[in-house]
Each structure stands twice: as structure tokens, then as C-alpha cells.
Amino acid sequence: MNIIIIGCGKTGEELVASLLAENHNISIIDTLPSVINAVQESYDVIGICGSGAVTDILREAGVEKADLVISCTPQDELNVLSCTIAKRLGAKNCVARVRNPDLHAQIQFMRREFGIDNMFNPEYHAANAISRILRIPSAIKVDSFASGRIDIVELKVTEKSPLAGLSLMQFPSKFKTRVLVCTVQCAGSDRVLVPSGAYVIKPGDILNLTATHGDIHRFFREIGELSEPIRDVMLIGGSRIAYYLTKMLTDSGMRVKIIESDENRCLELARELPKAQIIHGDGSDHELLVEEGIRNMDACIPLTGMDESNMILSLYALSEGVQKVIPKINKKTLLGMAGGIQLNSGISPNQLMANVIISYARALGQSGNSAIRTLYKLIDGQVEAMEFVATDKAEVIGTPLCDLKLKKNLLIAGIVRGSHIIYPGANDVICPGDIVIVVTTNLYISSLDGILEE
């Protein structure tokens, strides 16, 4: 596809890297020549310097032939305006990054009146991802499918874990709860596989498991990994992520304390989040953190604008005995290092937005063929977990799974049919309307029929 990205800051560059990997043609627009030059030095893209809201600039970027325009400048209003103009000039699909809660709440109006096809909010997605982890604090990472009915969780196997030394085929006889091990990152290596029943789990393995939310909790209890529920949470930094996350957590009954250095922002948060406690102060001051009760917190979420500060604050929180620590880390290099210093859980808003945009881009033109609806990148992008809704036009419909020629290293992890969740066996079939969960090391699948060997 021909894709135009307006605004090439951290989010835009993440989108460039992700979409180029999917073999799209990319043009970028930014007002700063230095940004254009830096991105062109690293990636094979066409760069145009100027505003994405100017018709001549958009035409120079080829807007009339654009299959997708993504506007992700720092200004929400400019993103909306750029997409509106691009749509009028002939772009097939336009999406805008909109982070302001008031504007984000008007998505239906924007679609109807301005022709914007979709709006994405990386801060909201990040808050939602953190909230999911806090619901299952023993997990490194938690993603959800089928409107939250199925979870896929990441778990590291310890030396003392009852899972160590078990083969996967022993699970039904050892545990009462039904879970499915989808992928394994083998201990001490980058090797990732979709395991067979004969695979024997080793200490240090990182597993991705799927099950219902309730079954995940019961399984963690069976293996002695169920942590105490999170009740008290400290957020360091009063960003938009903090705003969205606090609403989610307080609505679920958790107690939230936000430490923010900007007094005016504190006043805004106090007005908008009456259920939370807002503290004006420097979140890097360890005396303040102790005074505000970090040692009594169940979770600490550093959300400052500096990745390095968030990592240091996370290590400090762990040293004070905080049960769960989840820093915001956008830089890929730092996110990859986090696991090596015991920061197993970390959230990157830019990567989350890239995942959403990739699934949206793959779905374009595939709606009649069971297009992808949700996409998660697992284990440093080596594995993709996807959600499809089967249509009656799909080739896989009605054929027993044992008779389908599925690609290697691919697992159908679950089928949701109405109110029923099916862990598929050899004789199960996919029916129209089913939600199908697929986990695979085969990247770039865009439709349900893409799971078949060509």
C-alpha cells in the first residue's frame, strides 16, 4: 500500500519502521528538515518538509494515490485537520492520533462529519495495557481478545515452579484448570517455538498462555504464582496515561495516588479525578516517595517523560518491596534491557500504537475474507497473536481442523462462538461468525485464510 505518515517524532518513526517491515511504500511529512533527514538516513522513505494540513504538501506526497494517511503530530487538532483535508483530496483511508480525552470522546462525530476513518490514542492503549497487567500481577504481560473474554499472558518459569520439568501433555492430569501454552521462548536463548505436547518446560522458559480470565487466575493459584490483588497504586507523573489509567483503576476499586511536579497539572488532575489523591512534588525525591507511602504500595507505575528516569524509579520501588512495577519505556533499546535488570513488565505507547495501526493496515481490503481485527506482538516481535472474525467466504469454514493444511509454527489458540469458548481439537470446525485466535511465528498474516499453506 501507499502510506503517508504526517509527523515523524517518536511515534511516527516507530510507525515507519513497523510499516516498512510489512513492505508498504512510505512517504513522510514533517515541518522540521532535521527530522526528515534523520528518518531518511535510517529508512527508505520519501520525505517532504512542510505542514500536513497544506494541500500542496499533501499532493506532493501523493495523497490522491494514498491508501492510508496517518497523522501523528503532537497537535490533536492538526491531526484531525490534516486527515480531513487528505480525505477530501482523495486519500482512501485516514486515521488521526488524538490524545485529548475530550476530542477522543467525539470519535463518532469526527467520522460522520469529517470523514476520518479512525482515531487512535496511544496513551489510552498504554493505560489499558497497564490495567490488564495489574489485574494479573504475577504475569509479565497481559493481552486480551474477544472483548476481554480471553487473555494471553506471559509468564517466566522459576526454578521452584511446579511447571519446571513437566511436559505439556501432562498438564491435564496435573492441573484442574484448562490453559493452553501457545509459545515458548527457550531459557537462555532467543529461540521461540510453538511447542508440541512433548515439550518439557525448563526453568527460565518464558511461556505465553491463553485461557479465560477466570481460568488464568485459577491456574496461577494452582501453581502458586497468584499474587495478592493490587489495591494501592502510586503513579509517578501526571501524564495523559496517568489520567486514563487512574479512571480505570479507581472505577475498579483501587486506591490511586499520583505524584506530579507541575502545580497547574495537579490542579487539573484534582478536578478531573476526584477519586484519586494528587500530590504536588518531585517524584524523583526518594524522601518524598517514602513520606507518601511507597513502601505500603502494591504497585508503582513510573510515567515521567524520561525512559531512563522511569527505569531508575522502578528499580528503587522494587528495592522498597513494591510488589508490581511497570515503567513506561518507549526506546526499544531500553525496553530490551529492562528484563536484564529485573524489570520484566514495561509498556511502550509507541509500540502499542504501531500494533494497532499494523492490524488496521492489514485489514484494509480484507473485510470480505475474515480480516484481522486485533494484533499483538509478543516476545520482541518474534510472535504474533491475532484475532479474526470468520465470514462465510473464508476457505477454512466447515473443514475439520485436522484436515486443514495449516502453516507450520501456528496454533489456533481459541474459538469464541456466541457465549461459548472452545479450545479447539482436531475435529472442531470454524463457523461463520466465530472469533478465531491465532498465535504464530509466521509474521504478516492479514486474513484468516492466511493461516493455510499456499
Answer yes or no: do 368 and 410 share one domain.
Answer: yes
Overall size of the chain counted in residues: 454
Q: Which of 60, 86, 120 is the last residue of a domain?
A: 120
Residue 356 is assigned to a structural domain of this protein: no
Q: Which residues span the domain enclosing 177? A: 126-222
With a pLDDT cut of 70, the percent of the chain lying above it is 96
| pLDDT, position 55 | 96
Residue 68 is assigned to a structural domain of this protein: yes
Stretch 70-77: mean pLDDT, rounded?
Answer: 94
pLDDT in tens, 28-70: 999 999 999 999 999 999 999 999 999 999 999 999 999 999 9
Residue 333 is assigned to a structural domain of this protein: yes
CATH of the domain at 336: 3.40.50.720
Residue 246 is assigned to a structural domain of this protein: yes
The model carries a pTM of 0.87
Answer yes or no: do 208 and 99 share one domain.
Answer: no
pLDDT in tens, 140-181: 899 998 888 899 999 999 999 999 999 999 999 999 888 999
Instruction: Check pLDDT > 80 for residue 210.
Output: yes
Residue 193 is assigned to a structural domain of this protein: yes
- Per the structure, the count of domains in the chain is 4
pLDDT in tens, 318-341: 999 999 999 999 887 776 665 555
CATH of the domain at 377: 3.30.70.1450
| pLDDT, position 260 | 97
Q: Phi and psi dihedrals of 296, rounded to 5?
A: -100, 5
Answer yes or no: do 85 and 56 share one domain.
Answer: yes
Instruction: Check pLDDT > 70 for residue 367.
Output: no
Residue 208 is assigned to a structural domain of this protein: yes
| pLDDT, position 105 | 75
Q: Which of 316, 347, 378 is the last residue of a domain?
A: 347
Q: Which of 347, 378, 413 is the last residue of a domain?
A: 347
